[in-house]
Amino acid sequence: MATEKKIAFITGGNRGIGLETASQLAQAGVKAVIGSRSLENGKAAIAKLKAEGLDVDVIRFDITKPADYKEAYAYFDKNYGKLDILINNAGISRENFLDGNNASKVSPAVLRETFDTNFFGTIELTQTLLPLIKKAPEGRIVNLSSILGSLTLHADPGSPIYGAKVLAYDASKAALNAFTIHLAYELKDTKIKVNSAHPGWVKTDMGTDAAPMEIPDGAKTSVQLATLAADGPTGGYFHMGQPLPW
Ligand SMILES: NC(=O)c1ccc[n+]([C@@H]2O[C@H](COP(=O)([O-])OP(=O)(O)OC[C@H]3O[C@@H](n4cnc5c(N)ncnc54)[C@H](OP(=O)(O)O)[C@@H]3O)[C@@H](O)[C@H]2O)c1
């Protein structure tokens, strides 16, 4: 029997934007389950949230390990019989953002590692969990993209990201955006909404201290898209409620 409370799964939820997204969703009354590569790190991360009375939990989860997709499915199926919100937040960058222009020299190893996490793993997890998302009254899937995944802006000499070109990361997020568009199309006659989020340039381990945006603001786009009303958009690419060009 499916529970009435909304259940969310946030991958890469033990730190950064993912942890803050879990916190904000739990504050909004959602049960937020984070995935963490290290269960110990994950437990430590949610201890503070639990102490504040928030309804959060953790499962061990590595987006590059197909066995973990099945374990995540089994966990949500057994405990909740559904999944309302999937936030595909886990992501990596293996390139130096300040040393762009690497298209001619980025290694196949970096390309493959980046795509394994940011694209292949994310798609396979989503496909695995989709039957449970279909069992929720109105599922929401949020893919953590980046403005750096915008081909339109990368091709525009006048855009703010024109000079910020790191091929593996940028291409992995552009590919993820393609998944958003394709999955939203496939699900267009259902109540499930699928959107890409650009969180902003956020002060996390990935974003570095040079980033202008604090983590609480960095989680807002994910939370907005995870809690969209029934008349909200699907198949879009947003930052703080504003559409971005693909
Ligand atoms: N920060 C920004 O300015 C910015 C801008 C645009 C987009 N984004 C996107 O927003 C998302 C969150 O970024 P963030 O800044 O919060 O990054 P972060 O601080 O580096 O955190 C990344 C999270 O992903 C997890 N992760 C990495 N590889 C994983 C794997 N194989 N399996 C499961 N989890 C894994 C990490 O877990 P561990 O602790 O185990 O490493 C960590 O929890 C990413 O998709 C990123 O690309 C960030």
**CA 189 to ligand 1 centroid distance, Å:** 31
Model pLDDT, residue 113: 98
Buried b (16+ CB within 10 A) or exposed e, 82-111: bbbbbbbbbbbbebebeebebeeebeeebb
Q: How far is CA 243 from the centre of its chain?
A: 17
d(CA 242, CA 233): 11
Confidence bin at 100 (pLDDT 50/70/90): confident
Reply yes or no on whether the pLDDT at 1 is more than 80.
no
Q: What is the dihedral of CA 178, 103, 148, 181, to 10 degrees?
A: 0
Strand-pairing partners, residue 87, are 10, 142
Full 3-state SS string of 171-186: HHHHHHHHHHHHHHHH
Q: Is the pLDDT of residue 49 over 70?
A: yes
Q: How far apart are CA 49 and CA 13, in angstroms?
A: 12
Most ligand 1 atoms within 8 A of CB, residue of 202, 217, 222 to mutate: 202
- 113-139 pLDDT, tens digit per residue, is 999 999 999 999 999 999 999 999 999
pLDDT level of residue 199 (50, 70, 90 thresholds):
very high
Q: What is the mean pLDDT of residues 152-160?
A: 97
The owner of tokens 């599922």 is 139
Which of 92, 93, 123, 196 to mutate for ligand 1's pocket (most ligand atoms within 8 Å of CB)?
92
Task: Report d(CA 14, CA 62) in Å as an integer.
Answer: 12
For the purposes of burial, counting CB atoms within 10 Å of the CB of 241, is it exposed (0-12), middle (13-18) or buried (19 or more)?
Answer: exposed
Give the closest residue (by CA) to ligand 1 atom 44.
91
Q: Give 160-164's long-range contacts (Cβ < 8 A, gap of 24+).
A: 163/100, 164/97, 164/100
What lies within 8 Å, CB to CB, of 169 at 6+ separation is 93, 94, 95, 97, 114, 118, 146, 148
Residue type, 48: K
Domains and CATH numbers, the chain: 7-236 (3.40.50.720)
Q: What is the mean pLDDT of residues 74-87?
A: 98
CB 94 within 8 A of CB 110: yes
**Residue 98 pLDDT grade (very low, low, confident, very high; cuts 50, 70, 90):** confident
Q: Which residue has the tokens 């496939």?
A: 186
Average pLDDT, the chain: 97
Calculate the alpha carbon distances from 169 to 70, 78, 232 in Å.
26, 35, 29
